[in-house]
Structure 1
Amino acid sequence: MPEGDTVWQAARRLHTALAGHVLTRSDLRVPKYALTDLTGRTVLDVVSRGKHLLTRVEGDLTLHSHLRMDGSWKIYAPGERWRGGPGHQIRAILGTEERTAVGYRLPVLELLRTGDEDRAVGHLGPDLLGPDWDPGTALANLRRDPDRALGEALLDQRNLAGIGNVYKSELCFLLRVTPWLPAGRLPDEYATHLMTLAEKLLDANRERPERTTTGRRDQNLFVYGRAGRPCLRCGTRIRVANQGDGSRERPTYWCPTCQPGPAPRPAPSSRPGRTR
């Protein structure tokens, strides 16, 4: 699932391509909206809210979409070949005279009254990249369930919106705590720093084509995706294990030396036994 900075970038691309222009083509390829026609309406703006995209159209209408794991919006110029995937994966087409936005593999696509956007995003916590960002509220949300693992609490968009699996692993590494630490056991000074650091990382990366948390040219990330490779701080091999409630487990990366605390046991060695 994309991180909040990725969705923010998608919103900006859509806004640049569509906002202020009249729709000359509209095709929503989901049964509920198969007969809906938005042509002739002006796109007012496109914004992100956490990991959600809101395309606001003249007439108090908002097209709400969510990318989840595989969805994407691609922008094409007139005559340009569409390369986002086969035609049967297209879920939405919004076209103007100058640009066409094509939504591929969108698992969530719904048309709302703009005044009813809270039906889609009202459950979200403060948005790390939004005007509603409030670190105090986000921290209070995070601590509502003190026994919940910190990594799971960070991924819960009801607590704070925008953190995905990459930032979860990287933030815990930078704080020197494991993602399995109960959120209620995070010291106050660490908790405050976590909110500041989360906003700083997402804000720094929203303008970048390639995400980085290290500030290094040779390695963009400290732990995510680096299982078995040496820690950039101490040289210990980075570990990976699934974290979740069993329904939405995600690979989680950490350094067992730099991040002491609760963590899954290493998998037993699978050396073949000797035969006689």
Structure 2
Amino acid sequence: MPEGDTVWQATKRLHDALAGHVLTRSDLRVPKYALSDLTGRTVLDVTPRGKHLLTRIEGGLTLHSHLRMDGSWKIYAPGDRWSGGPGHQIRAILGTEERTAVGYRLPVLELLHTADEDRAVGHLGPDLLGPDWDPDQALANVRRDPDRALGEALLDQRNLAGIGNVYKSELCFLLHVTPWVPVGRLSDEYAAHLMTLSKKLLDANRERSNRITTGRRDQNLYVYGRAGRPCLRCGTRIRVANQGDGSRERPTYWCPTCQQGPTPQPGPVAGLGRTR
């Protein structure tokens, strides 16, 4: 699932292409909104909220979308060949005289009154890349359940908005704790540093095409996606396991030497046989 920095980039591309321009084409390929016509209205702005995209349109309307795992918005100039996927995967088309935005495989697409945006995103905690970022509130949200595993608390968008599996794994590595350590075991200093570091990483990557947490050119990430490979710090093999209730895949990576705290029992892991 795209994380806050990726959504921020997608939103910026949409904003640059559409904001301030009148829609000359509108096609929402969702049964509930199939007859909705936005042509003749001006796009006011496109704003990210955590992992959600809010396209605000003249007349008090907002087109709310979410990319989840496979969704994307592509921008095309007149005459460009649309290459985001087959036609049956298109869920939305917003066109102006100069650009056309095409939404592919969007699992969430709804047309709201702008005044009702909270119905879609009001449950979210402070946005790491938004004007509402409040580290104290985000920290209070995370620490509300001291027995909860840190990795799960970070992924809960009601606590703070924008972190996904990549940043969860990387942040825990940088804090030297496993993603399964209970939130209540973090010292006040570590907990405060977690908020500062989360903000720093997303800010540093929101303009980058390649996400980097290491500061190294030869290796972008410390642990995520590196199962079975040597830790960049100590050389121990990186491990991977799913975290959560099993309702969805949440691959979680960690170094058993550099990170302290509970870990799951060894068991079968796709592509690795067993974690060791």
- The whole-number CA distance in structure 2 between the counterparts of 1:183 and 1:105 is 35
Residue by residue over 1:27-85, the C-alpha shift from the partner in whole angstroms, topping out at 9 and shown as x without a partner, is 00000000000000000000100000000000000000000000000000001000000
Task: Using the TM superposition, give the Cα deviation of residue 21 of structure 1 relative to its aligned residue in structure 2, in angstroms.
Answer: 0.3
Query: What is the letter of the counterpart of residue 90 of structure 1?
Result: I
Report runs of 4+ in structure 1 exceeding 2 Å deviation.
265-271
Aligned to 2:6: 6
CA distance in 1, matches of 2:116, 2:36: 18
**Distance in 2 (alpha carbons) for counterparts of 1:16 and 1:184:** 43
Shift of 1:270: 7.6
Deviation at 1:193, TM superposition (A): 0.3
Task: In structure 1, give the amino acid aligned to 2:103.
Answer: G
* Alpha-carbon distance change, 136 to 3 in structure 1, aligned in 2, over 3 angstroms: same
The equivalent residue for 2:115 is 115
Alpha-carbon separation, structure 2, partners of 1:260 and 1:196:
20
Please state whether the residue corresponding to 1:214 is helix, strand or coil.
Answer: coil
Q: Which residue of 1 aligns with 2:244?
A: 244
Give the TM-score normalised by the residue count of structure 2. Answer: 0.96
Q: Matched residues in 2 for 1:270 and 1:75: separation?
A: 41
Aligned to 2:149: 149
Secondary structure of 1:198's counterpart equals: helix
CA displacement at 1:265 relative to structure 2:
2.5
Q: Partner residue of 2:106?
A: 106
Identity rate, percent: 88
TM-score, normalisation: structure 1: 0.96
Q: State the partner residue of 1:85.
A: 85
> Which range moved further: 245-254 or 234-243?
245-254
Corresponding residue for 1:274?
none
Aligned to 1:53: 53
Instruction: State the number of aligned residues.
Output: 271
**Partner residue in 2 for 1:211:** 211
Cα distance in structure 2, aligned partners of 1:104 and 1:186: 41
Change (3 A) 1:264 1:50: same
Cα distance in 1 between the residues matched to 2:267 and 2:122: 41
RMSD: 1.3
Residue in structure 2 matched with residue 165 of structure 1 by the alignment: 165
Which runs of 5 or more structure 2 residues have no equivalent in the other structure? Answer: none
Larger Rg: 1
Alpha-carbon shift at residue 266 of structure 1 (Å): 2.5
- Does 1:262 find its partner at 2:262? yes
Helix, strand or coil at the partner of 1:46: strand
Unpaired stretches in structure 1, ≥5 consecutive residues: 272-276
Q: What does 1:216-231 correspond to in 2, within 5 Å? A: 216-231=216-231
Question: For residues 206-232 of structure 1, what are the alpha-carbon distances to aligned partners after superposition, in whole Å with 9 as ceiling and x for unaligned?
Answer: 011110000000000000000000000
> Distance between the aligned counterparts of 1:172 and 1:56, measured in 2?
36
Structure 2 distance, partners of 1:70, 1:42, is 28
